[in-house]
Amino acid sequence: MQKKDMLYEGKAKKLYTTEDKQKMIMEFKDDATAFDGEKKASLQKKGKLNTEISMIFFELLEAENISTHYLEKLSDNEMLVEKMDIFPLEVVVRNIVAGSLAERTGLAEGTELEEEVIEFFYKSDELGDPLLNSEHIKLLELADKEELAEIRSKAREINNVLQQFLAEAGIDLVDFKLEFGRTDQEEIKLADEITPDTCRLWDVSTGKKLDKDRFRQEMGGVMAGYEEILKRIKKEK
């Protein structure tokens, strides 16, 4: 499948059209950003690592009958995906308190949640991706009631599959961000990526952070963390 026009360049990925209107090529860049793009860097091999990690997670979910936009891996840093109409929502699933949940609630980082917490953020750079509740989502017509219920239930299922798989690899799935879209046939599927850019992943025994927080918090060894994740999930595959 050949790349045609670049449809979109985001902070971490580029999207290209192909000769098939329903398929797109997603290219993972080495660029890393944090704090609304204020902190920027290029991390060698990030695109390649994220492509492979995302592919493993998408294939795992497909094997569990959870539909995703993933079609096939095309190269080190490119995958073919189904073109979707993306809901402008970042769906965050949390199992352990960290990041903005700790800031918003005062709960200590590392507190285990009895039941997962699902949050929705409005994908709007202009507004700074604010937290939304279901009434706001209805008000803004970002998804209807049935769609939102389906997104919630898929997010829970994905969490169950990933949490168990990662536990076997000695990794705690602290929290992660998902994006969903609609196909031409109005089917809701998981889109975008699942990578250490979009998940918090801690070593089960030491609590060591193996994800993008190493970049956000200037901890060093960012790519070593991503390599460690890949090595462990490849073994569990």
Query: Which one, 152 or 182, has the nearer CB to ligand ADP?
Result: 182
CB 13 within 8 A of CB 20: no
Tokens representing residue 47 in the block: 């695109």
Min dist CB 50 to ligand ADP, Å, is 10
Name the minimum Å distance from CB 27 to ligand ADP.
10
Q: How many residues bind ligand ADP (CB under 6 A)?
A: 17
Q: Choose the one of ligand UDP, ligand ADP, none that binds residue 96, judging by a C-beta under 5 to 8 angstroms depending on kind.
A: none
Question: Quick one: what does residue 198 bind among ligand ADP, ligand UDP, none, with the CB cut-off 5 to 8 Å set by partner type?
Answer: ligand UDP
Question: Which residue's CB is nearer to ligand UDP, number 91 or number 148?
Answer: 91
For ligand UDP, what does the binding mask look like between residues 156 and 185, x meaning CB under 6 A?
-------------------xxx--------
Tell whether residue 194 is a contact of ligand UDP (CB under 6 A): no
Q: Which of residues 179-208 bind ligand ADP (CB under 6 A)?
A: 179, 181, 191-192
The answer to whether 179 and 10 have CB atoms below 8 angstroms apart is: no
Binding of residue 198 to ligand UDP (CB under 6 A): yes
CA 103 from centroid of its chain's CA atoms: 21
Residues that bind ligand UDP (CB under 6 A): 90, 92, 98-101, 129, 175-177, 198-200, 212
